[in-house]
Amino acid sequence: MTRRPLLAVDWGTSSLRGAWLDESGQVLQERAFDRGILSVAAGQFPAVFDSCFGDWMSRPGALCLMSGMVGSQQGWQQAAYCPCPADLTLIAASLTWVRPGCLAIVPGLSCEHGAVPDVMRGEETQVLGAMQLLGLRDSLLVLPGTHSKWVRLRDAAIESFATCMTGEFYALLRQHSILARSLPADDGVLDRRVFCQGVEQALAGSSLLNTAFSTRTLALFERLKPEVLPSYLSGLVIGEELRAQSLPAGSSLVLVGSENLTQRYQCALELLGVSSQSVGSQAAWAGLWTISQTI
Amino acid sequence: MTRRPLLAVDWGTSSLRGAWLDESGQVLQERAFDRGILSVAAGQFPAVFDSCFGDWMSRPGALCLMSGMVGSQQGWQQAAYCPCPADLTLIAASLTWVRPGCLAIVPGLSCEHGAVPDVMRGEETQVLGAMQLLGLRDSLLVLPGTHSKWVRLRDAAIESFATCMTGEFYALLRQHSILARSLPADDGVLDRRVFCQGVEQALAGSSLLNTAFSTRTLALFERLKPEVLPSYLSGLVIGEELRAQSLPAGSSLVLVGSENLTQRYQCALELLGVSSQSVGSQAAWAGLWTISQTI
């Protein structure tokens, strides 16, 4: 077990966040930068890292663990995927050391569904954090986002997971489809009633290919006002994601993510009679801290 | 019954096609122009029409019937939707005359699924044509495209229909999603085996939100080569459309559309044990001719 201060870094596609944790795992400071890996040229990762966190790393005994797309082909250094089932011990034993003893990248995970693989990078760390914060061993977790991850825990290991491109489908339909012509420029405030109407429509349907078109016809027939259409469409895509899971009423799951998103999923899950508890962005810090205590 | 030569016009969002039919309904000549309604400024429809078809319309006794988005808000003149169920008699009685006795627009159709409307413009005419060409009275028809239409005929009337945004979802994923990074610039020739692999994947799944991601992971793990990914993705979206219909094995349906598309659907339907027959683009001309014989 390491008793060192930890620089925990969540370096994703579009953002870079870091936190400074003391020897007991307490978060003392946080920083965020618009320096997602897509904004960093090959070879420039060390310089960007040092400019953002150099002062923290120069402190005595500092250890840095990074998770997210920083370990992808397009990132600082490729960190091979760990195959599922994967637990804390396996993940902590599979770090890719960029600066030996000092700076490492957490591996992503892969799993197989028949002949089709699935992958995640960064979410495995949030799951480890949620497990630690909530004491989970056997649960279903959802990490909503551009690519939502549905994660099955069994005996304190990530047994399998599946990706839904929910956030990306919303953005595609919102920005690039024929529906964009009916929608206002700004998403505005969520209309909870209309959001639920979209969820119900998706749950009663069989595919977003069909239900998405109702956004257009409800606007065409003036049954929904333009300003609530983004709420309706959000309900449709999140409802579609939930429909596809066939969750039994009375079941429960854990939501991991920003409050803005987890609140929408909570609303939608209530319509299904599924209970949920939520963990926020501190899950990543807790996950990196838990790994640091295992190496 | 009218015994006049007919100018049949299919004026859609992105294309303008016309055919000259003699008094017996024989197609004598066809013309196509890149003058879809989106390329025509408000007020310019008469001028574009006359420049494309003025010579035909100056012939003695000429009648022109137009179908498609030309009857929408963004078209030449709005033609109100006929509510379903709608048969040939109702549709022919609901023409919008732009030049009385001489030039009319066929109405679109609307139908209701619970509190959600659906609409079509142009496909109703192709359905009437397919009915006439194949002698249909009680059938399921599919008109694949950007927005596929699934049409249920009962007693020689269009009882109801539903839209699937299949072609548009393909284009969105192909051009604007993260999958676009894995796909080659050009779609290339269809790889039938890989197309069927995509169909099977969609049929085994529960939502395109999830199955679409396999395009990325199969590329990432080099289990599919980049050049066949468009075929795989096409199989995924068409397979998703078919999955959502829950078609019983042993059933049959009618495909109406271009050979390029109907062949893909035929392949996919074979995997489901569903038989199909196809009608091509002559269905629009036959539909407009049938209407002209009823007014």
- The 10s digit of each residue's pLDDT in B241-259 is 999 999 999 999 999 999 9
In the Cβ-directed half-sphere of B223, how many Cα atoms lie within 13 Å?
Answer: 16
Q: Tell me the shortest Cα–Cα distance from B223 to chain A, in angstroms.
A: 9
Closest residue in A to B119 (Cα–Cα): A217
The distance in angstroms from the start CA to the end CA of chain A is 6
C-alpha to C-alpha distances, B158 to A122, B133, B188, B221, B248, nearest whole angstrom: 51, 16, 37, 47, 21
What contacts A60, CB < 8 A, 6 or more positions away? none
B118 touching A (Cβ < 8 Å): yes
B153 touching A (Cβ < 8 Å): no
Residue B221 has pLDDT above 60, yes or no: yes
Mean pLDDT over residues A1-11, rounded? 87
Residue B3 has pLDDT above 90, yes or no: no
What contacts A143, CB < 8 A, 6 or more positions away? A123, A126, A127, A149, A151, A255, A256, A257
A166–B217 C-beta distance less than 8 A? no
Average pLDDT, chain B: 96
Residue B5 — very low, low, confident or very high, per pLDDT cuts 50/70/90?
very high
Please give the pLDDT value at position A1: 53
Going by the DSSP 8-state scheme, the letter that residue A190 receives in this structure is -
Residue A215 has pLDDT above 70, yes or no: yes
B238 touching A (Cβ < 8 Å): no
Mean pLDDT over residues B110-116, rounded? 96
Please give the pLDDT value at position B1: 54
Average pLDDT, chain A: 96
> Could you report the predicted ipTM of this complex, rounded to two decimals?
0.96
Contact B109, B141 (CB under 8 A): no
Closest residue in B to A111 (Cα–Cα): B217
A172 touching B (Cβ < 8 Å): yes
Phi-psi region of B208 (alpha: psi -120 to 50; beta: other; left: phi over 0): alpha
Contact A74, A45 (CB under 8 A): no
Classify each residue of A216-244 as buried b or exposed e, where b means 16 or more C-beta atoms within 10 Å of its C-beta: bbbbbeeebeeebbbbbbbbbbbbbbbbb
Please give the pLDDT value at position A3: 80
Please give the pLDDT value at position B252: 97
Q: What is the pTM of this model?
A: 0.96
Please give the pLDDT value at position B30: 97
From the list B163, B169, B210, the residue facing A164 with the nearest CB is: B210
- The 10s digit of each residue's pLDDT in A246-256 is 999 999 999 99
Is residue A70 classed exposed, middle or buried when 0-12, 13-18 and 19+ CB atoms within 10 A define those classes?
A: buried
Contacts of A175 in chain B (CB under 8 A): 176
B210 touching A (Cβ < 8 Å): yes
Mean pLDDT over residues B264-288, rounded? 97
From the list A173, A210, A220, the residue facing B244 with the nearest CB is: A210
* CB pairs A-B closer than 8 Å: 114
B173–A116 C-beta distance less than 8 A? no
Please give the pLDDT value at position B2: 55
Going by the DSSP 8-state scheme, the letter that residue B23 receives in this structure is T
Please give the pLDDT value at position B48: 98
Q: Please give the Cα distance from A276 to A286 (Å, whole number).
A: 20
Mean pLDDT over residues A106-122, rounded? 97
Beta bridge partners of B148: B164
From the list B118, B207, B217, the residue facing A208 with the nearest CB is: B207
Please give the pLDDT value at position B265: 98
Task: Identify the three-state secondary structure at position A136.
Answer: coil
Is residue B42 classed exposed, middle or buried when 0-12, 13-18 and 19+ CB atoms within 10 A define those classes?
A: exposed
Tell me which of A280 and A3 has the higher pLDDT.
A280
In this structure, what token pair is assigned to residue A15? 């953002």
Residue A281 — very low, low, confident or very high, per pLDDT cuts 50/70/90?
confident
From the list A165, A175, A245, the residue facing B212 with the nearest CB is: A165
Contact B10, B68 (CB under 8 A): yes
Task: Identify the three-state secondary structure at position A235.
Answer: helix
> Best mutation site among A161, A210, A265 for testing chain B: the one with the most B CBs within 10 Å?
A210
Contacts of B147 in chain A (CB under 8 A): 178, 213
Percent pLDDT > 90 in chain A is 98
A246 touching B (Cβ < 8 Å): yes
Please give the pLDDT value at position B156: 97
A246–B209 C-beta distance less than 8 A? no
